[in-house]
Each structure stands twice: as C-alpha cells, then as structure tokens.
Structure 1
Amino acid sequence: MEADLAKEYGVDLWDPAILARPWPGIRTMIFSLLDSPTRLRAVLTRR
C-alpha cells in the first residue's frame, strides 16, 4: 500500500506533513487504489 500511494499520488506516509493530515483524506486515497491497476488491487483480487 505504501509503494502504491507513493507511485500513484506521491504520498510518503512517514512525512510529517502527511501524518498531520486528517485521516479521511488518506483513507480515500487508499480506497481509490482499488480502482486502479495497483499492487494492492492485485493482491486483494487473486484467486
């Protein structure tokens, strides 16, 4: 998930500026990774 956030949005989850952001915005970005061809989606949709 961290790698996908960095690749798709340029987000470093350990950056103090990101850590200071409200959680709902980060959560929205995480859920949006499921709509794109990301590593997270591939792992969660394996059969």
Structure 2
Amino acid sequence: MATASNFDSTGSVGGTLTFTSVPEPESLALVGIALVGLVATKRRRNKQAAI
C-alpha cells in the first residue's frame, strides 16, 4: 500500500510514502500445498484409527 499526503497548491508533495511487501505467488502456492498435505495426512490417520 502506498500513501502520500499533504498536497499543496504548487503541486509539491509533503509527507511520507509507505510500502508493504507482497508475498510471491510461489510462496503462497507452497504454503497451500503444505496445508493440503497436512489435512490429507490427518484424514488418512483418522480413517486408519477407526478401522
């Protein structure tokens, strides 16, 4: 998110700019795959324990 504040009538900008980092798509994909794997493992163990 970038923000700028305090515009004056001469067109100059005062204030600060703030930037936030955006996670890379590959990182999000890896986290998603890991979560799916954990859920699948838990379900598989629960089925085996019920037998």
Higher relative contact order (CA 8 A, sep 6+): 1
| Structure with more of its chain in helix, by fraction | 1
TM range (shorter): 0.3 to 0.5
* TM-score, length-scaled by structure 2: 0.32
Look at both structures and tell me which one has the larger radius of gyration over its CA atoms: 2
* TM-score, length-scaled by structure 1: 0.34
| Structure with more of its chain in strand, by fraction | 2
